[in-house]
Structure 1
Amino acid sequence: MTSHEAAQRFPRSSPYWPVLSHPVLRRILPGLTVSALGDGMAVVAVSWMALQLAPPQQRGTWVAIAMAAYTVPSVLATVLFGRLLGGRGGAQLAGWDATLRAGALAAIPLAHLLGALSLGLYVTLLAASSLLHSWGTAGRYTLIADVLPERHHLAGNATLGVIGELATIGGPPLAGLLIGWAGAVWVIAIDAATFAVLALTYHLAVPVTDRPAPPRTGPSRTAGFAVIRHNRTLLGLIALSFGFFILFGPVYIALPLHIVDDLHASATLLGTYYMVFGAGALLGGLTVGYLRRWSLWRVTIGIVVGFGLTMLPLGLGAPTSLSLLAFAVGGAIWAPYVPTSMALFQRSTTSTNRTQVLAANGAVTVLAVPAGTMLGGPLVSALGARETLLICASAIITVGVLAAGLTTHRTPSEGPRHAPGV
């Protein structure tokens, strides 16, 4: 095929065309993009609001509490609401999550206007907003699996990832400008508005008549965890994800301290590291749809090993230009992990247990990064920032190599299989 013929066939020849042109998804993706941008701004606004509300001597503690409240409560809700939410449709779960987030976050600027916003109320509202986060994430990926044939799942997952990466690049700088102009509380108000738009989008894009009826008798609260426990493919995948994410967690502590203490540089360099990582992740995310003919298990394990290798220059004290380049490559390698691992989950579950399994996976992975971040403090204090980076890189490589060794003895199935129901 000539380049002219290829250009004429594009974009219909792209693996992303079936996703972008799907009658349901093309109505949902704009709402997801708006909401992702709002959430990208909230990453900055949530911590900045905590800084404004907290006593000066307790700022660090309250920032950590606020950021944890914005994510961690969903772990508890995965178990508490398992019987109620298991078996619900993907769009319904994602819509409920967006509705709760919109309401709880909107209460923050309302309390501010009434002069009633305290630290305790702020953290409580953040925690309430995050309760259905794992179920909402499970709902989005369940919807992808429900409306697209299996061969397009990877491209669908990658589209969600690219939207997130774009929001990560654009959201924080925009939040900085808006905080300087209007204040952090109004950035949170904008985030609430974007979730309201997303909730309305789900309601309009998937009519009630197209949604599966809820089960008459709900599954057990821990149904998703039970399915994973009885399925070696899923158990191995969730163990790999947990190990990967928890070992990356200390980087959030070690990298800033490495820049300040070892390199004697400013916050500008830290921002540059995150910028090149985000740019690499965006490029890496765009390539995911073209991996559909590859062995997804080998790709997923290769991502873990490859990412660990890109972290080595930081841990070994390589020149800044080299470590920045490696960090950008690391972002490109990192980006496909969630789409490929989610595709493996989608292929290894059934329509009856998919939402429970994906919610359980979300609960485990949501815990992993904060747990690793908390581990980073003692590690840096005991060993030093650069040494911690080196240990994390080496440990990530080790986890990937061990996973590769295990799969040579028993290659997990990537095709549809009926995981045990509960």
Structure 2
Amino acid sequence: MAFTLNGMMRSSPYWPVVSHRTMRRLLPGFALSSLGDGMAVVAVSWFAIELAPTADRGIWVAVAAAAYTLPGAVGALVLGRLLGHRAPTRLAGWDAALRACALGTIPIAYALGLLGIGLYIALLAVSSVLHSWGQAGVYTLLARVLPEGDHLAGNAVLSTIGSFCTVVGPILAAPLIAWGGAATVVAADAATFAVLAATFLFAIRAKTVPELAQAQDSSTASRSTGFTVIRRNPTLLGLLVLSFGFFFLFGPVYVALPLHVSEELGGSAGLLAAFYTAFGIGAVLGGMLTGYLSRWRLWPTTIGIVIAFGAVMLPIGLEVPKPVALASFAAAGLLWPPYSSLSTALFQRSTLSALLPQVLAASSAVRVLSVPLGTALGGPLVAGFGASDALRSAAVGILVLGLAAAVVAALRGSASRRS
């Protein structure tokens, strides 16, 4: 049995990833920081509730959630000249170090009685300024140390770790908050990023891994290099538009689903948690399966996932039994990691290595902006049409977007064959 299990592991598309010397050094720290972020999903909002004035708690919770993500998009847009030519290990290491320091300051200030809601929001914002560049650094590192054929499996490993930690992190955060308050969880999150920063400082360095030393000359870097590269490549531009539309149209679900559960289904917080748990479990399975798609054509598969995602989301806004709705959301979760990994692989394969950090940072910035914009649309959409109609509209919008992308891709392919 042990021999059979060992043989199965070695024949897996993930074996070249997890057995690679550099990836073995990266994965423990990455997994730990992902777990910290999973716990922060609960702690960031809960701490805002503890600190904010009672009358304005809802506003401050929304501001805290935005502060933990949106400055990363701003950093991607304005720091291109400064960071675009840096080695990926430095980008990822600096992001982890900044997160560790800014987040670590929060429980210290709280213990000293200096933490108010304003300082809390400011420190959250500082912690996320380099996050788009940090993510770009990690995926550029992966693209440089692994052969092209292993990029998708490598992306899937990172995506699966993130999905798993999104499920486990909140479960761990709840008893920690009950025991020591939200400050304890934020301190733990800071510690996990300190470990990741140490990983890049001591275990993964450009001088010890030659593939990571390649960088663009600073004289050619600019704030908009990543967007310029994308704009000049029709495939990358189409992928960025598709990704923006996909995440934007999913944004209203974050508003509509809780109201659909509470007001239209008469369900409790437990039912809402069941929906998110189903999505998370589906995402873990989807991440594990993604590596086996490496022989599929990436662009058609990516478009097909968008179409399928819209289709499986449709029943959630219809009058179907709750188990069917939960299964539909789990199926949507199953498709989420493959889309992320496949689209990242397309960027990795279609971009010069020296320009990859800027391109991935630009892509990350667009993704970070698209979901909050879609979520903001969810408010008036629900107010005007109701939660179930908003859910159906989001599903139909995603489905139509995927079909439109398929038509454009088919027409482009036909035109290229004629020429």
Q: What TM-score range do you get, normalising by the shorter chain?
A: over 0.9
**What does 1:18-29 correspond to in 2, within 5 Å?**
18-29=16-27
Deviation at 1:6, TM superposition (A): 6.3
Deviations 1:23-55 (A, max 9, x none): 011011001111100000001000000001111
Among 116, 131, 137, the alignment partner of 1:133 is 131
1: distance between equivalents of 2:276 and 2:405? 28
Q: 1:299 to 1:6 in 2, by over 3 A?
A: farther
Structure 1 residue 165 corresponds to structure 2 residue 163? yes
CA deviation map 1:151-170 (0-9, x unaligned): 00000000000000110010
Q: Is the 8 A contact 2:248 2:373 kept in 1?
A: yes
Residue 113 of structure 2 aligns to a residue in which SS?
Answer: coil
Q: Which amino acid aligns with 1:326?
A: S
Whole-angstrom CA distance in 2 between matches of 1:303 and 1:213? 34
Q: Distance in 2 between matches of 1:8 and 1:121?
A: 51
Distance 2:68 2:6 in 1: 46
Indicate the residue corresponding to 2:359 in structure 1: 357
Q: Which residue in 1 is equivalent to 2:178? A: 180
Query: Counterpart in 2 of 1:408?
Result: 410
| Correspondence for 2:68 | 70
Residue 5 of structure 1, CA deviation? 8.7
Contact 2:251 2:371 in 1 (8 A): yes
Deviates more, 1:132-141 or 1:312-321: 312-321
Partner of 1:247: 249
Show the counterpart of 2:417: none
Q: After superposition, what is the alpha-carbon deviation per residue over 1:204-225, rounded to whole angstroms, capped at 9, x for unaligned?
A: 2223414426534251111001
Letter in structure 2 aligned against 1:178: L
* Aligned position for 2:340: 338
For structure 1, the residue ranges without an aligned partner over 5 or more in a row are 413-422
**Aligned mates of 1:17, 1:64 — CA distance in 2:** 41
Change (3 A) 1:76 1:322: same
What's the offset of the Cα at 1:341?
A: 0.2
Residue type matched to 2:226 in 1? Answer: G
Tell me the distance in 2 between the aligned counterparts of 1:335 and 1:352.
26
* Structure 2 residue 213 is the aligned partner of structure 1 residue 212: yes
Q: What residue number does 1:420 align with?
A: none
In the alignment, residue 260 of structure 1 is paired with which amino acid?
Answer: S
Partner of 1:195: 193
2 CA distance for matches of 1:218 and 1:129?
A: 28
Aligned with residue 106 of structure 1, among 104, 107, 111: 104
Q: How has the CA–CA distance of structure 1 residues 396 and 153 changed in structure 2, closer, same or farther, with 3 Å as cutoff?
A: same
Q: In the TM superposition, what are the counterparts of 1:51-90 in structure 2 within 5 Å?
A: 51-90=49-88
Distance 2:282 2:126 in 1: 33
Aligned to 2:114: 116
In structure 1, the residue matched to 2:33 is 35
Q: Distance in 2 between matches of 1:293 and 1:208?
A: 31
Structure 2 residue runs of 5 or longer lacking an equivalent are 415-419
CA distance in 1, matches of 2:181, 2:50: 10
Q: CA deviation at 1:7?
A: 4.8
Output the TM-score relative to the length of structure 1: 0.95
Larger mean CA deviation between 265-274 and 323-332 belongs to 323-332
Shift of 1:56: 1.0
Q: How far apart, CA to CA, are the structure 2 residues paired with 1:300 and 1:7?
A: 31
Work out the CA distance in 1 between the residues paired with 2:412 and 2:200: 40
C-alpha deviation, 1:363, in angstroms: 0.3
Report whether the alignment pairs 1:347 with 2:349: yes
Q: Give aligned-pair identity as a percent.
A: 56
CA contact (8 A) 1:310 1:327 kept: yes
Give the match's secondary structure for 1:115.
coil
Is 2:87–2:206's contact at 8 Å kept on the other side of the alignment? no
Instruction: Render the CA deviation track for 1:365-408: whole Å, top value 9, x for unaligned.
Output: 00011111111011101100000000000000000000000111
The one of 262, 274, 280 aligned to 1:260: 262
Distance in 1 of aligned mates of 2:391 and 2:194: 40
Structure-2 change in CA distance of 1:181 and 1:404 (3 Å): same
1:87 Cα deviation from its structure 2 partner: 2.2
Alignment partner of 1:377 is 2:375 = no
Q: How many residues get paired?
A: 410
Q: Write the letter of the residue equivalent to 2:55.
A: Q
1:66-115 deviations in Å (ceiling 9; x for gaps): 00000001111112210111122222111110000000000101111111
SS of residue in 2 equivalent to 1:318 = coil
Contact in 1 for aligned 2:81/2:218 (Cα 8 Å): no
TM-score (structure 2 length as normaliser): 0.95
